[in-house]
Amino acid sequence: MTRLTLTLALMGLVSLTACGPDEIIASYGPGEDTGSMDDDDSADTGDDDDSADTGDDDDSGEPEDGPVDEDGDGYSPDPDAVDCDDTDPTIYPGAPEICGDGIDQDCDGEDEECPDDGNREVTIQVSCGSTSPAMDLSFGYCSDRDDPFECDAWNQSVVTVEDSASISYSVQNVSTGSIRANSSRFYSDSDYDEDSGSWQNADAWLCENGSTGPVMTCTVSFLVDGESVGDAGAWCDYYGSGSSLGVTVESLLAGLE
């Protein structure tokens, strides 16, 4: 019996050595343990392998789209050098600034204020309450006269309005000195002269000679650079055979303080 068992064992060994590896595996039935290394990582499909990444977040060196310089001035709406208006090529960081125009050319966040040259615009306003066929206004400005009634730089009837109760006029480049002014009213259409095309022979004046001195017959107010300063202490006084309104630039500017 022992000899028979040994003989059969030797025959099986010879049979196995005569087969190739594939034939040995095939000789096992389904579900049988083949003894092969089923968990061998060398056969991994690479589903989790970074080397097979599709590159959706790939930093492949392709340049990303950045801010576009729409107006071609060399600056774009980039956080490091912001073009605050990329539709205007005259507006960019460091651009020449135009003072007082309400535009921030150099993108520093504000418009530059113009240096104060001391010149002002003074607007004379005369209101007489009732409408007349015509009113006119005359003035004189002398930068070298502190007394307005020494000012002979007279501009006769610089503005005329019809069918109105008020009139105004702006005097430019006022800095020092004084202003003298007067306004006349015409109550009749016959005061209009067809030949000269002007109103003549005024029926009433802003300043008229009263029994005790010149009197103001209308209300006067002033604006300095568009800001109201009230009547600025203006007064009526004699000038030649008549009278006119006088105001000093010093008192006009004091109304701004």
Instruction: Give me the residue label for tokens 């004091």.
Output: 254
Q: State residue 72's pLDDT score.
A: 79
The answer to whether residues 198 and 184 touch, using CB atoms and an 8 Å cutoff, is: no
Tell which wins on pLDDT, 8 or 159. Answer: 159
Whether the pTM exceeds 0.75: the reply is no
Residue 88 in tokens: 């205007």
- The domain spans of the chain are 77-115, 120-254
CA distance 127 to 220: 7
Asked if residue 251 has pLDDT above 60, the reply is yes
Q: For 16-33, b where at least 16 C-beta lie within 10 A, e where not — what string?
A: eeeeeeeeeeeeeeeeee
CB count within 10 Å of CB 104 equals 16
Asked if residue 155 has pLDDT above 90, the reply is yes
- Encode pLDDT of 70-117 as tens digits: 777 777 776 666 788 888 889 988 899 998 889 999 888 899 888 777
- Encode pLDDT of 167-182 as tens digits: 999 999 999 999 999 9
DSSP 8-class letter at 191: G
Tell which wins on pLDDT, 14 or 139. Answer: 139
Tell which wins on pLDDT, 68 or 188. Answer: 188
